[in-house]
Amino acid sequence: MLFWFVMVYWMVSVGIGLYAATRVHNTRDFAIAGRHLPFYMVTATVFATWFGSETVLGIPATFLTEGLHGVVADPFGSSLCLILVGIFFAAPLYRMNLLTIGDFYKKRFGRGVEVATTLAIVISYLGWVGAQITALGLVFNVVSGGEISRLSGMWIGSSTILIYTLFGGMWAVAITDFLQMIIIVIGMLWIGGEVSAMAGGVGVVVDHAAQAGMFQFWPAPDLKEVIGFTAAWVTMMFGSIPQQDVFQRVQSAKTEKIAVWGSILGGSLYFVFAFVPMFLAYSATLIAPQMVKELAASDPQMILPRLVLDHAPLVAQVMFFGALLSAIKSCASATLLAPSVTFTENILKPLLGRPGHPLSDRKLLLAMRIVTLVFTLVVTLYAINSKASIFKMVESAYQITLVTAFVPLVCGIYWRRSTNQGAALAIFAGLATWLSLLLAGAEDFILPAQFAGLLMSAAGMVAGSLLPQAMHHNPAIHDELRHGHHASFHTHHVTEPVHPHPQP
């Protein structure tokens, strides 16, 4: 019964995604939903994209073994990322009216920086999408009672998500995300009520966790501990900002205000609801301690699904696995679309067009769909062959964007003196430092590889921008890009009288 309920839900949501394809008429519709999304849909797609397999399976497994200290990267770092995007990045990027985040790097720092950052962004999605595909294989295996293998589940999941993403693009992602957010919230709260009743109430579970030291968050007062803790936090918080899926949600909004507040509210909701799966997983230590002990040693990601299957009634099982599939699907569809769009726009488009004869919009849309298909195949193969846990696949995905793309994005928007040469040196210094430490296996080095890479990237940007310029740079481009960001400020000062002294 559970399997057929899940399959019906799966097919209905795919059908809704295909219906959304009727709204796609050009690349702008495919990539950013024609900039037509209202506030509730932007909020929903921000929340649902980030509430993925790592939130339901990966974070709780890590929390059980390491406590609150172990989940600093996600949900603490990842939710703060979305809030920071809303506060500092949504408005200036929205006013630039671009199709991809790679377009920002191209306009601000030139073709070379555009290619380097785009490739880094695309590579970073392997880990994130791979985690969703891995989780799909696990879910299909569990709900079918082992009749569908994990490998078959991966292929079934990735191919069906591909169908509606391929045709519906951002419209399909946004509409299905809105519905899936509703399922996630209702499903998580429902199963939370069932599980807390079995464990003796919310207070009992929270008190037990507190006594077990599970809420110890801050690191020990040791320099290496503090730096490692900060590096884990910063990797997700800053490394996730220069990402196409985040950029797409900003650009898809109907207005600038929606782009800002949709990101802030979506990130805040994500932070709150990410604690529900952690509560459920810890409840399992009170309800089925022997099962938790066995799975913690072999496959901690299975603790929550096994708890629901063994102890919850059918309705609760349907609600839980419906919410889990919603979480995975919304995350997977968005993260398949984002790298495919930016790779096509920023890498392929200049190569496929001829001088004076740019690629037509129709051909560009076809290219985006072909790249989406190819990327799905590549990432499914990556997931099949990866031995990392879901949490580690997601956590490590953002290291490459942290060391290459974050500093050029921040300085490109907020530092007028940043130059093409500075951006190029930032990318080179960050990437070289990160790779050198990784290849050297420097686990005992006081600075984690990605944190050292971030610091060197910042140093490279400052040095490269202030030294004599060997690369062509047009300082007026910063003002041109930022003009929209300051337009309201200038208008205010033109229309308002200037007072020589502060007014009360």
What is the helix (H) or strand (E) element at residue 159, kind and residue range?
helix 150-199
pLDDT digits (tens, 9 = 90+) for 448-503: 999 999 999 999 999 999 998 877 666 667 666 666 544 333 333 333 333 444 44
On whether the CB atoms of residues 57 and 135 are closer than 8 A, the answer is yes
CA pair distance 247, 154, nearest whole angstrom = 27
pLDDT score, position 447: 86
Average pLDDT value over all residues in the chain: 86
For the chain, the C-alpha Rg in angstroms (whole number) is 23
Task: Tell me what the mean pLDDT of segment 383-387 comes to.
Answer: 83
* Confidence bin at 270 (pLDDT 50/70/90): very high
* Confidence bin at 443 (pLDDT 50/70/90): low
58 vs 389, more confident: 58
Task: Tell me what the mean pLDDT of segment 100-128 comes to.
Answer: 92
Give the DSSP per-residue string, 418-458. --HHHHHHHHHHHHHHHHHHHHTT-TTSSS-HHHHHHHHHH
Task: Tell me what the mean pLDDT of segment 124-140 comes to.
Answer: 85
pLDDT score, position 32: 87
pLDDT score, position 498: 38
Q: Which of 100-114, 231-245, 299-313 shows the lowest per-residue confidence on average (mean pLDDT)?
A: 299-313
Comparing CA positions, the residue from 378, 437, 440 lying closest to residue 403 is 437
CA pair distance 116, 258, nearest whole angstrom = 31
Comparing CA positions, the residue from 276, 306, 273, 315 lying closest to residue 288 is 306
How many C-beta atoms lie closer than 10 Å to residue 148's C-beta? 19
pLDDT digits (tens, 9 = 90+) for 9-33: 888 888 888 888 888 888 889 888 8
Percentage of residues in the chain with pLDDT exceeding 70? 91
Residue for token pair 């793309």: 405
HEC profile for 396-422?
Answer: HHCHHHHHHCHHHHHHHHHCCCCCHHH
415 vs 316, more confident: 415
Q: Which of 139-143, 358-362, 488-492 shows the lowest per-residue confidence on average (mean pLDDT)?
A: 488-492
CA pair distance 138, 129, nearest whole angstrom = 14
* Confidence bin at 312 (pLDDT 50/70/90): confident
Comparing CA positions, the residue from 35, 41, 43, 39 lying closest to residue 96 is 35
CA pair distance 250, 259, nearest whole angstrom = 5
Identify residue 307 by its one-letter amino acid code.
L
CA pair distance 189, 272, nearest whole angstrom = 12
**Positive or negative CA dihedral for 33, 35, 38, 41?**
positive
Task: Tell me what the mean pLDDT of segment 412-432 comes to.
Answer: 95
CA pair distance 411, 128, nearest whole angstrom = 26
Q: Which residues pair with 14 in a beta bridge?
A: none
pLDDT digits (tens, 9 = 90+) for 279-292: 999 999 999 989 98
Omega prior to 242 cis, within 30 of 0: no
Q: Which residues pair with 357 in a beta bridge?
A: 354
How many C-beta atoms lie closer than 10 Å to residue 201's C-beta? 11
Identify residue 212 by its one-letter amino acid code.
A
CA pair distance 228, 177, nearest whole angstrom = 34
CA pair distance 320, 309, nearest whole angstrom = 10
404 vs 225, more confident: 404
CA pair distance 82, 500, nearest whole angstrom = 40
HEC profile for 99-120?
Answer: CCHHHHHHHHHCHHHHHHHHHH
pLDDT digits (tens, 9 = 90+) for 320-354: 888 888 778 878 888 888 899 999 999 999 888 77
CB burial class (10 A; 0-12, 13-18, 19+) of residue 163?
Answer: middle
Residue for token pair 């490739």: 119
Comparing CA positions, the residue from 85, 89, 95, 94 lying closest to residue 487 is 95
